[in-house]
Chain A
């Protein structure tokens, strides 16, 4: 009896110790989805004791993806929808997305969920009559939260564009450096003797030219010198960049005050641990904190960790060929296409000082749905049909777009038929 109690007590002590010291994976029921697996050591990332999983936990990380939600929850929090909510409670994220199950994007609801509200599509759209009710999202055409590309008006407008625009229309970012600017003298504590090599690197940087001095970054609480500032220091000036970083897989752990992401935490193939592979991901991992040269950050930094076929194929791709012909001072030139061009897309952000083009550091924002990358990035240089058919071709994506798409997407055949009907009837849809 006492032996049993003793063993039970020991087991409980071990389990409790694991729970409080952040080793909570042992309690996980089944597999977590990609991305969420980075947070599975901390159950409180999602769970609130005795309250389940409130929406706020999801929205804390996924706010950016829901900013232009075409089915925002507030639309349904209305007495008009009371009866519908009894059938499908869309006011709760976990109604449709349940974790700890092996399904794509944790969409655990029946695939026919669109139909009860949108069953009139078979009347309004003759070309949809043969489609099964479960195909709305599965076919890759419609996304419950983001339908900004795959709507008829957008497709009709862009369908017959040429495959490549010249010149490319990538938005240009970053404040210009005043011409003739000289680096300011460095200011650092006298206790740091000599002229460290870091100061030499800093003097060549855009920070030095724009009067961002040592103590502007290395200041901790109370104004003391802080040897290794983290992203909170960068955030003082680069708020959007840091906050968007927190929204992607690279920064999601830091957003929840967990330890930084390490390459070995990833499920994608990563380079073997060694001298050249970074140990963890933070601002300084990709941006040398003293040169702050964005050129290596846009390609070399990525390839120092990522070792999948898409990444290994980049340097031999047509996109990479644009790098050799394009450089402007401390930044890649306007025609350059880097890893960051697609995966950390540039976008216009509105701030107190006015609107500017900034780099979205959420490395997953443009990945899902795939047509989001088409709209944010690909259309700057390419026509819609080439961009869409390429990005929907898994083999082409894996080899970093070497070759042509293997088939035409049925969507464009439908749009061409729609345009032909409109020309005949004289009526626009």
Chain B
């Protein structure tokens, strides 16, 4: 009896330690949703909102009904924001909550600020242009902080997209077709 108790105790402690010390992936350690899936959910919402705005608001009201125009200076001109502005305004509101960030970038960005900046963005854009159905994901460090980053394709979902971009004087590419990948949406989740 006195010999078995220590053995049972060691066994019990070993089981406890095995259950609590599995390093695994950050997601399994936290028992939450893996970041790879979280970014998929986020992208699904961004893509849906962006597509809806571009098709049902911009293309319909500007190009079909001829009721109102889009304009970069939409407040002064009493016009509609550009679809890219609509996405960026949403991204700003999200960033103010401090949970995660997202941005619209492109190798053919009209504004230099939206060209790919990091190796992740450059490689990610190359990857999604080549294989649009396969998002590019990895853990990255920027500014001393660690992030899970995912890059998804941003496609020409409406004639409004290609008409504007193919005729913009500062465009770096002017031969987009409907369905082409025009850039990417990069999502950055801070991880501890």
Per-residue CB proximity of B72-99 to A under 8 Å, as 1/0? 1100100000000000000010011000
Q: Which residues of B contact A79 (CB under 8 A)?
A: 101, 140, 142-143, 145, 147, 149, 188
**B118 contacts A83, C-beta separation under 8 Å:** yes
**B95 contacts A74, C-beta separation under 8 Å:** yes
- Report the Cα distance A75→B88, complex, angstroms: 9
Q: Which residues of A contact B113 (CB under 8 A)?
A: 117
**B169 contacts A77, C-beta separation under 8 Å:** no
Interface centre among A79, A124, A154, by most chain B C-beta atoms within 10 angstroms, is: A79
Q: A75-B92, A153-B72 are in contact. Are A80 and B186 (CB under 8 A)?
A: yes
Per-residue CB proximity of A57-89 to B under 8 Å, as 1/0? 000000000000000101101111111110000
| A424 contacts chain B at the CB level, 8 A cutoff | no
- Report the Cα distance A259→B3, complex, angstroms: 83
**B73 contacts A74, C-beta separation under 8 Å:** no
- Report the Cα distance A54→B146, complex, angstroms: 25
Q: A78-B103, A80-B117, A117-B113 are in contact. Are A148 and B92 (CB under 8 A)?
A: no
Q: A74-B92, A74-B95, A117-B112 are in contact. Are A80 and B169 (CB under 8 A)?
A: no
Q: Which residues of A contact B154 (CB under 8 A)?
A: none
- Report the Cα distance A154→B92, complex, angstroms: 25
Interface residues on A, range: 20 to 34
- Report the Cα distance A159→B170, complex, angstroms: 22
**A120 contacts B143, C-beta separation under 8 Å:** no
Q: Which residues of B contact A117 (CB under 8 A)?
A: 112-113
- Report the Cα distance A148→B149, complex, angstroms: 34
- Report the Cα distance A83→B142, complex, angstroms: 8
Interface centre among A80, A118, A148, A428, by most chain B C-beta atoms within 10 angstroms, is: A80
**B112 contacts A118, C-beta separation under 8 Å:** yes
Q: Which residues of B contact A120 (CB under 8 A)?
A: 112
Taking CB as reference atom, which chain B residue is nearest A119? B112
- Interface of B: prevailing SS: mixed
- Report the Cα distance A11→B90, complex, angstroms: 58
Per-residue CB proximity of A80-120 to B under 8 Å, as 1/0? 11111100000000000000000000000000000001101
Taking CB as reference atom, which chain B residue is nearest A124? B170
Q: Which of B52-80 contact A (CB under 8 A)?
A: 71-73, 76
Taking CB as reference atom, which chain B residue is nearest A83? B117
Q: Which of B156-172 contact A (CB under 8 A)?
A: 167, 169-170
Q: Which residues of B contact A118 (CB under 8 A)?
A: 112
- Report the Cα distance A386→B76, complex, angstroms: 20
Q: Which residues of A contact B73 (CB under 8 A)?
A: 148, 151, 153-154
Q: Which residues of B contact A275 (CB under 8 A)?
A: none
Taking CB as reference atom, which chain A residue is nearest B121? A80
| A351 contacts chain B at the CB level, 8 A cutoff | no
**B118 contacts A154, C-beta separation under 8 Å:** no
- Report the Cα distance A363→B186, complex, angstroms: 43
Q: A85-B143, A429-B169 are in contact. Are A78 and B118 (CB under 8 A)?
A: no
Per-residue CB proximity of B150-192 to A under 8 Å, as 1/0? 0000000000000000010110000000000000001010000
Q: Besides A79-B143, A83-B142, 6 other CB < 8 A contacts?
A: A77-B95, A78-B103, A79-B101, A79-B142, A117-B113, A124-B170
Sorted nearest first, the 8 A-B pairs with minimum C-beta distance are A82-B143, A79-B142, A82-B142, A429-B169, A120-B112, A79-B188, A80-B117, A78-B101
What would be 7 A-B contacts, judged by CB atoms less than 8 Å apart?
Answer: A74-B92, A79-B147, A79-B149, A120-B112, A153-B71, A427-B167, A429-B170
B: which residues have CB within 8 A of A? 71-73, 76, 92, 95-96, 101, 103, 105, 112-113, 117-118, 121, 140, 142-143, 145, 147, 149, 167, 169-170, 186, 188
